[in-house]
Amino acid sequence: MAVLDRFLHYVTFDTQSSETTGVTPSTPGQRRFAEALVAELQAIGLEEISLDENGYLMATLPANTEKAVPTIGFIAHLDTSPDLSGRDVKPRIVAYTGGDIVLNEAQRIVLSPDMFPELNDYVGQELVVTDGTTLLGADDKAGVAAIIEAMRELKEHPEWIHGKIRIAFTPDEEIGAGADHFDVEKFGCAWGYTIDGGQVGELEYENFNAAVAKITFKGLNVHPGYAKNKMLNASLRATEFAAWLPETMRPETTEGYEGFFHLIGMTGSVEEATLSYIIRDHDRALFEEKKQLIQQLAARMNAAYPGCATVEMRDQYYNMREVVEPQKQVVDLAFEAMQAVGVQPLVKPIRGGTDGARLSFMGLPCPNIFAGGLNFHGRYEFLPVPSLEKSMQTILKIIDLAAKK
């Protein structure tokens, strides 16, 4: 089965994760997908296949050389984003010649280079698109397909010398829980790579430091006809607080290494209101300053309205650069592999996070490599077929170079 065929099969599994269930994996579709992958890995001939109670799937391709070659791991996630439905995905392949792609004529859903100019980079290529009613699922089923097809290639070509290879597929990455139950010791690798990046060439070993904050505002409700000097409207205090945060530190006004406060949810009445934020910055010191600003603004609110505001805040993950950079050869190996297969490496910071960030701090240095898709998490997601093939070829070349070095 070619890597494209694998991908087209994998997107038929509905594997959206959910933040509301409180179990791991958070949805049964992820377990069903993992069980189907177990059968595929068995058919390929991999060993030490294990699927644990939390939906973490691991397997081994044994070394075929007596040379001392480090054990390398490759990781992708089973789930798709809960931002848009991943059920009944209807992928189709378009030979792209430029201009608009009509995804759904009845609903007037069009993938256009006017909105997504990166389409112009793929003129002359085959693209996998949706019918506009679901996401595609290249994040990260393209990564799953690239890893498994690479393992099949190595099994079918025993003349290709390689060390021991470990692969893993994790649940619930899209809700920030992909590393929660990952057994790094059991995985047993010197280092690893998540195959979870976007456009062809992406190579990332820097990501945001990340935290979540929930600010709750308490008010006092009085009949509005008699409210003068008595009412405290919690919803108004919440909007006042939100306005205090700098407009220049929002996702829509930042890029590159610039961090932000992102208001992701709000509720409100006169009696009580809440603001939910994610806080992001690549620089650890600036990250801490952003968290302190939230606390300072809450204190400012409480100085004006005693007892009004309370803050709940927790860190989610940190910038893997702290861990990976001292072992830069891990990144250099991927860089060399991309060049060897005709891919121009794009080394840049992730304006987000991956399982690899947390795994790096758990003892598994784990940069992120492209899987090839673009416009993740939405109806305009697409996957250039050559990019998917290059992802698989990059995996094979990393393994080849590691054995030769």
- Domain check: are 40 and 184 in the same one? yes
Q: DSSP secondary structure string, 233-260?
A: -HHHHHHHHHHHS-GGGSGGG--TT--E
Which residue carries 């891919």 as its tokens? 343
Per-residue pLDDT tens digits for 279-308: 999 999 999 999 999 999 999 999 999 999
Peptide bond into 140 cis (omega under 30): yes
- Domain check: are 336 and 191 in the same one? yes
Confidence at residue 113, expressed as pLDDT on a 0 to 100 scale: 96
159: domain CATH number? 3.40.630.10
- Domain check: are 251 and 329 in the same one? no
- Domain check: are 340 and 367 in the same one? yes
Structure tokens at 4: 């494209």
Q: How far apart are CA 310 and CA 272, in angstroms?
A: 11
Q: How far apart are CA 282 and CA 290, in angstroms?
A: 12
Number of domains in the chain: 2
Region class of 184: left (phi > 0), else alpha (psi between -120 and 50), else beta: alpha
Please, which residues have CB within 8 angstroms of residue 212's CB and are 6 or more apart in sequence? 276, 277, 278, 279, 313, 314, 316
Q: How far is it between the farthest Cα atoms of the chain?
A: 86
Smallest CA-to-CA distance from 400 within 340, 328, 325 is with 340
- Domain check: are 45 and 154 in the same one? yes
Last residue of one domain, picked from the residues 279, 300, 316: 316
Q: How far apart are CA 52 and CA 25, in angstroms?
A: 10
Q: What angle do CA 363, 369, 372 make, to 5 degrees?
A: 150
Q: How far apart are CA 367 and CA 354, in angstroms?
A: 9
The whole domain housing 302 covers 209-316
Smallest CA-to-CA distance from 178 within 395, 372, 364 is with 364
Percentage of residues in the chain having pLDDT higher than 70: 100
- Domain check: are 181 and 222 in the same one? no
Other C-beta atoms lying within 10 Å of the C-beta of residue 333: 20
- Domain check: are 224 and 367 in the same one? no
Per-residue pLDDT tens digits for 157-198: 999 999 999 999 999 999 888 999 999 999 999 999 999 989
Output DSSP code: residue 144: H
- Domain check: are 179 and 216 in the same one? no
Confidence at residue 316, expressed as pLDDT on a 0 to 100 scale: 87
Pairing state between β 202-204 and 346-347: parallel
The one-letter amino acid code at 362 reads M
Last residue of one domain, picked from the residues 266, 292, 316: 316
- Domain check: are 148 and 214 in the same one? no
Structure tokens at 240: 């006042």
Per-residue pLDDT tens digits for 318-373: 999 999 999 999 999 999 999 999 999 999 888 887 889 899 999 999 999 999 99
- Domain check: are 331 and 199 in the same one? yes
258: domain CATH number? 3.30.70.360
pLDDT bin (cut points 50, 70, 90) of residue 1 is low
Pairing state between β 47-51 and 383-384: unpaired
Q: DSSP secondary structure string, 272-338?
A: EEEEEEEEEESSHHHHHHHHHHHHHHHHHHHHHSTT-EEEEEEEEE--THHHHGGGTHHHHHHHHHH
Would you please indicate which residues are annotated as catalytic (active-site) residues?
79, 173
User: By the 8 A CB rule, do 264 and 274 touch?
Assistant: no
pLDDT at 277 over 80: yes
User: By the 8 A CB rule, do 154 and 65 touch?
Assistant: no
pTM: 0.88
Per-residue pLDDT tens digits for 78-113: 999 998 998 999 999 999 999 999 999 999 999 999
Confidence at residue 53, expressed as pLDDT on a 0 to 100 scale: 97
- Domain check: are 268 and 222 in the same one? yes
Q: Tell me the average pLDDT across 13-20.
A: 94
User: By the 8 A CB rule, do 166 and 366 touch?
Assistant: no
User: By the 8 A CB rule, do 335 and 367 touch?
Assistant: no
- Domain check: are 214 and 292 in the same one? yes
Peptide bond into 113 cis (omega under 30): no
Round the average pLDDT of the chain to a whole number and report it.
95
User: By the 8 A CB rule, do 213 and 267 touch?
Assistant: no
Other C-beta atoms lying within 10 Å of the C-beta of residue 404: 10
Pairing state between β 72-77 and 191-197: parallel
Last residue of one domain, picked from the residues 295, 316, 337: 316
Which residue carries 């204190």 as its tokens? 299
CA count, 13 A, side-chain hemisphere, 145: 29
